[in-house]
Amino acid sequence: MIRPLALTSGDPAGIGPDLALTLAAETPAAPLVILGDRAVLADRARALGLDPDLPDWSPDRPAPAGAALWHCPAGATVTAGRPDPATGAGTLAMLRRAADGCLDGTFSAMVTAPVAKNVICEAADPAFTGHTEFLAERAGVDRVVMMLAAGDLRVALATTHLPLARVPAAITDAGLTRVLTILRDDLRAKFALPRPRILVLGLNPHAGEGGHLGREELDIIIPTLERLRGEGFDLTGPVPADTAFQPALLERHDAVLAMYHDQGLPVLKFAGFGEAVNLTLGLPFIRTSVDHGTAFDLAGTGRALAGSLRAATRLAAELARRAAPSEPVS
């Protein structure tokens, strides 16, 4: 039996509580501690006609056998579908608890349901841009990599939640080197790929068209990739992003590195929305998440699909088992 997974239930007015309840009603992939507000989950369970067995849990108790609830107050009365900045601090406190529990070994991994970044920004932490950056800071690491996986397609990002206007300045030799090192090391460690083949996209149209459509490829990306190839990395590119996602190229690579969020993720989500998993690479613990947002329009309706959270939970359990081979499989 592995240590429990922490599943944060996300924005209390979004679909996170619905999906967490759906998983709690199934046979969990591993012991599961759901972090969320007891009253919110009870209300949502009533709305959805679910009645999961969700005993209370706290870190002073033994690990649960199945699913259990660690009560994290939302901080306000919650209406499904109506985001409320008054819940921002409670949501952030919930994320801190789960992250700290991973860091101190209470949990074997963290799985996150979606939060609304603006809700947390408005009321709790104006610098919050997403779980990815928050967890990096909490864990004290200078850089992490966001990677989404849909089947065999893996798309990692060189920059994450950054306004588009600030992306070019963020494409640096040092940054790309860190990102590609984390990506290569985590593909080896987590996906048993001894020499990961990485397809790197350009930043500009046609990968800069020889400098006529932008110089980042010539000035930064090409020299960095050449140096890293000399150090043993298996890298292709920079290739034009518009023609990169074709079977002939993808089948020869283990992951694609996109330069920014909306260059890589629309393709990944077109390929696998609803079943894909978001992973944070480079953290000192395992963190997986969903491929979608809070979907306030669906909260409490019973129409939110749990495929991505289920896949994220299964992958977290699988990675946790692989990381603890001496512990018997539950």
Ligand X SMILES: NC(=O)C1=CN([C@@H]2O[C@H](COP(=O)(O)OP(=O)(O)OC[C@H]3O[C@@H](n4cnc5c(N)ncnc54)[C@H](O)[C@@H]3O)[C@@H](O)[C@H]2O)C=CC1
Cβ-based neighbours of 260, under 8 Å, separated by 6 or more: 157, 158, 159, 162, 164, 167, 203
Given ligand X, ligand LD2JLWAY, none, residue 145, with its beta carbon under 5 to 8 Å by kind, binds: none
Cβ-based neighbours of 324, under 8 Å, separated by 6 or more: 2, 3, 108
Tell me which DSSP letter residue 304 carries.
-
Q: Is 80 in the site for ligand X (CB under 6 A)?
A: no
Q: Is 304 in the site for ligand X (CB under 6 A)?
A: yes
The strand pairing partners of 156, in sequence order, are 147, 257
- The string of DSSP letters for 60-71 reads TSPPPSSEEEEE
Looking at beta carbons only, is 108 or 132 nearer to ligand X? 132
Question: Tokens representing 160?
Answer: 């994450």
Identify the residue among 298, 315, 319, 320 touching ligand X (CB under 6 A): 298
Looking at beta carbons only, is 235 or 276 nearer to ligand LD2JLWAY? 276
How far apart CA 235 and CA 176 sit, in angstroms, is 12
Tell me whether the omega of the peptide bond preceding residue 328 falls within 30 degrees of 0, making it cis: no
Identify the residue among 294, 311, 315, 320 touching ligand X (CB under 6 A): 294
Identify the residue among 58, 77, 118, 243 touching ligand X (CB under 6 A): 118
How far apart CA 301 and CA 170 sit, in angstroms, is 41
- Minimum CB separation of residue 5 from ligand X in Å reads 16
Looking at beta carbons only, is 154 or 310 nearer to ligand X? 310
Nearest residue to ligand X, scored by beta-carbon proximity: 293
Given ligand X, ligand LD2JLWAY, none, residue 7, with its beta carbon under 5 to 8 Å by kind, binds: none
Question: Tokens representing 161?
Answer: 């939640």
Looking at beta carbons only, is 156 or 228 nearer to ligand LD2JLWAY? 156
**Positions at the binding site:** 131-132, 161, 206, 261, 269, 278, 287
Looking at beta carbons only, is 3 or 131 nearer to ligand LD2JLWAY? 131
Answer yes or no: are the C-beta atoms of 228 and 193 closer than 8 Å. no
The strand pairing partners of 69, in sequence order, are 34, 56
- State how far the alpha carbon of 311 is from the alpha carbons of 29, 46, 60, 276, in Å: 10, 25, 29, 7
Q: Is 295 in the site for ligand X (CB under 6 A)?
A: yes
For binding to ligand LD2JLWAY (CB under 6 A), which residues are involved? Answer: 130-132, 265, 278, 289
Catalog residues that contact ligand X under the rule CB under 6 A.
15, 114-118, 131, 289-290, 292-295, 297-298, 304-305
